[in-house]
Amino acid sequence: MALGSQPLDILGDRQSGQDVRTQNITACQSVSNIVKTSLGPVGLDKMLVDDIGDVTITNDGATILKMLDVEHPAAKVLVELAELQDREVGDGTTSVVIVAAELLKRANDLVKNKIHPTSVISGYRLAMREACKYIEEKLAIKVDKLGKDSLVNCAKTSMSSKLLSGDSDFFANLVVDAVQAVKMTNARGEIKYPIKGINILKAHGKSAKESYLLKGYALNTGRAAQGMPMKVSPARIACLDFNLQKTKMQLGVQVLVTDPRELEKIRQREADMTKERIEKILKAGANVVLTTKGIDDMALKYFVEAGAIAVRRVRKEDLRHVAKATGATAVSTFADMEGEETFDSSFLGSADEVVEERIADDDVILIKGTKTSSAVSVILRGANDFMLDEMDRALHDALCIVKRTLESNSVVAGGGAVEAALSVYLEYLATTLGSREQLAIAEFAESLLIIPKVLAVNAAKDATDLVAKLRAYHHTAQTKADKKHLSSMGLDLINGTVRNNLEAGVIEPAMSKVKILQFATEAAITILRIDDMIKLAKDESQDGQD
């Protein structure tokens, strides 16, 4: 009996070779087709309803894929790919999935034509390296030349496909101001823009245009009691991570009381312990107390008497940001090394003032003039929850893009310009190679054109015509020395023409494009390497014994 025809000794079925590859690639194609229509300034939104009926309406590639329950293992790679892009760059999640799926599709055609996957993989790798080099050397433009406008334009380009595109002028400026407000220099002297320091609060009502930027960190909760002052300044802030409630015995601790009069003493002591704790905090000089847990009504009266603001049930991450911004230390227990309970005034953070204001129907606590890093909050207004959520996602993407632009300092033209330029360049590069990678690089070059094609199709324009014009421009730019400026020609999707996107202000950080190429190629290679899939069947006999 020939070796190849032996039945598997494991419980399960095995597929190998071309079947698996085709199956994987079909799965990736279908994922890509879902997000395809949401790319670009005229992309459409998706409405996702999950198993309990929650509705999400979004245009953000990473969000769409996260919400989809993807079964197929190869398609899961694409979902992780979008999340990676979201973490690393913050925007371009849709593009990265589309490019990866297209690379796979073309690689599959090559493999069907008897080119070994390994050759395709090394060709793709080479193409990716050359492409990234070309972006950095030839296409990227330093931001210093362009000034603040370029940041606003980057933000506008990022928002162009989102809900906010109508008011993108207004929001782009808001985003740029917010990012520049949190500028800080770290220990190594690098200038960083921690986006985490920008708190986004969503409040119903009014129109999107009435969103605004607040200097200071806003907490989405009010004071714990009405008797507290509305405002304290200067503020000394204590950040706590435990209950300020009557101390109760731990579970499982039994107290045997022989004398019923002792009971009252125990109760009294329980109450006093909380009082002592609060007095320690107030003695250290705190006049604002934030805690992630609860505060007892009995405990509140001590704060009211002291004229301090206490806030309970603050979100953990809010507490961390406040602690970071004010220079406070988040305290999770009073116990010190000796087992005594102490609270040192060095744990307190400082801010110019802490006030409670009403925004829409909610009370919010604003911490203004924080000591170490400046914190800002964006208050979003909008008609309903879905809109606010989507505005939040769009702003997150735009904030990340502005941060990347500031930190990496180089931008490229958007609207398919980079992809078209790379496609022309790589196609030429492929013809100069005499090795078997030539075909793979040529296919890589073709795959990149998927971005301008999809952009044009979504805009209901003639894709074939536009992409042909676009390639002609880039070919001229790369062959004639005096036509270098044509390398930033991209699509104008509103009018259906080709224009210079640098002048039109459609720009993206160069880093975003480089990462898209790197991640998409890596994901494509990962899936392309698979040629065997073994699915194990569930072992039924185990269940009885468990």
Instruction: Tell me the sheet residues that pair with 240.
Output: 291, 331
- Catalytic residue numbers read 60, 93-94, 397
> Is there a contact between 76 and 97 (Cβ–Cβ < 8 Å)?
no
Q: Is 175 helix (H, G, I), strand (E, B) or coil?
A: helix
The number of angstroms, rounded, from the C-alpha of 161 to the middle of its chain's C-alpha atoms is: 16
Q: How many residues does the chain have?
A: 546
> Is there a contact between 367 and 322 (Cβ–Cβ < 8 Å)?
yes
Give the separation between CA 149 and CA 327, rounded to whole angstroms: 34
Residues 6+ apart with CB under 8 A from 61: 35, 38, 82, 93, 94, 95, 96, 97
Residues 6+ apart with CB under 8 A from 339: none
Q: What is the per-residue DSSP string for 222-263?
A: --SSTTS-SEESSEEEEEE-S-BS---PPTT-----SSHHHH
Strand residues in 478-531 grouped as ranges (E): 489-492, 497-500, 507-509
Give the separation between CA 389 and CA 379, rounded to whole angstroms: 13
Instruction: Tell me the sheet residues that pair with 413.
Output: 507
Residue found under tokens 């880039």: 474
